[in-house]
Amino acid sequence: MKVISRVYGIKEYVTRARREGKLIGFVPTMGWLHGGHLSLLRSAREECDVVIMSIFVNPTQFGPSEDLEKYPRDMERDKKLAEDAGADVLFAPSTGEMYPDGYATYVEVVGPLSQTMCGGARPGHFRGVATVVAKLFNIVEPDKSYFGQKDAQQAVIVKRMVKDLDMPLEVRVLPTVREEDGLAMSSRNSYLSEDQRRQATGLFKSLKRAEEMARGGEVSAQSIKEEMKRILLEGKSVRIDYIAIVDADSLEALDEVRDNTLIAVAAFVGGTRLIDNTIIHHR
């Protein structure tokens, strides 16, 4: 596996690969790789000729009081994991390489998509995400790019951006990968103490219960939210940020669960903000 830290280095690599007619798969990450990232890599490996992963802890998507500084990093471990999962190239730029002096351009998906759910709690977050993903797409010029369903709103926003800006690539969104007890894999899980780790399963449990209620015919978003809240707050260190029941594409709030409904939760467990979600499909 090649490790490249400069934009021109990747561009050179990609230009050659494209000239050879290779199909390029791309997995953008912030590193501290877990099973979710690796499942994206494996899909890219199956579907593409060349697999590029990026590791970049993107400062523009962190708020001033968020965890940019302490976000977990271990490049040596990540390199080994990426190589074992089949990456051909790891792109790991510095912040100065991505945002040099005089940098001034931002991509923004405006309106409800960016303002609800995590957008409410993290103003500017999705502008940072859209901007860095647009940059990475222009650098890597992938045919297919891979994202995890765990970050449901991010996936919707990236798909919206790609469609709106006519970007020449396909966005693949793959299922959330979970620990044995259901906790969605996340780099931020490493912040949890043993006790918090136990309480963190409440997110998954609350979503399972919501699915069960929906399957049983419950349509009231209010009733489902109340039941989810009850389950979440069984964890003594849990503070709910939001429970959202929305259309899975437009993210518009729904009073009644219907086909293609996204049920999403964000909660602090101790100081760690975790998210998880499920999509209800009728029929």
Instruction: Provide the annotated active-site residues.
Output: 37
User: Can you tell me whether residue 193 is helix, strand or coil?
Assistant: coil
> What's the min distance (Å) between Cβ of 265 and its own copies?
24
Q: Which of 44, 50, 87, 167 binds its own copies (CB under 8 A)?
A: 167
The answer to the question of residue 123 lying near its own copies (CB under 8 A) is no
Q: Which is nearer to its own copies, 169 or 219 (CB)?
A: 169
- Bridge-partner residues for 27, per DSSP? 53
Instruction: Give the distance from CA 63 to its chain's centroid.
Output: 16
Q: Which of 101, 105, 194, 217 binds its own copies (CB under 8 A)?
A: 105
The answer to the question of residue 20 lying near its own copies (CB under 8 A) is no
Instruction: Give the distance from CA 182 to its chain's centroid.
Output: 17
The answer to whether residues 235 and 199 touch, using CB atoms and an 8 Å cutoff, is yes
> What's the min distance (Å) between Cβ of 106 and its own copies?
5
The answer to the question of residue 144 lying near its own copies (CB under 8 A) is no
The answer to the question of residue 24 lying near its own copies (CB under 8 A) is no
The answer to the question of residue 64 lying near its own copies (CB under 8 A) is no
The answer to whether residues 125 and 241 touch, using CB atoms and an 8 Å cutoff, is no
The answer to whether residues 108 and 151 touch, using CB atoms and an 8 Å cutoff, is no
> What's the min distance (Å) between Cβ of 144 and its own copies?
15
The answer to whether residues 53 and 29 touch, using CB atoms and an 8 Å cutoff, is yes
> What's the min distance (Å) between Cβ of 74 and its own copies?
26
The answer to the question of residue 164 lying near its own copies (CB under 8 A) is yes
Q: Which is nearer to its own copies, 92 or 183 (CB)?
A: 92
How many angstroms separate the CA atoms of 79 and 13, rounded? 18
Q: Which is nearer to its own copies, 126 or 191 (CB)?
A: 126
How many angstroms separate the CA atoms of 229 and 217, rounded? 19
Residues 195-234 that bind its own copies (CB under 8 A): none
Q: Which of 65, 96, 110, 180 binds its own copies (CB under 8 A)?
A: 110
Q: Which strands form 144-148's sheet, in the order they lie side by side?
A: 2-4, 89-91, 50-55, 24-29, 144-148, 170-174
How many angstroms separate the CA atoms of 206 and 256, rounded? 18
Q: Which of 30, 130, 231, 232 binds its own copies (CB under 8 A)?
A: 130
The answer to whether residues 175 and 149 touch, using CB atoms and an 8 Å cutoff, is yes
Binding site for its own copies (CB under 8 A): 7, 11, 19, 21, 102-111, 113, 130-131, 134-135, 138-139, 141, 160-161, 164-168, 250
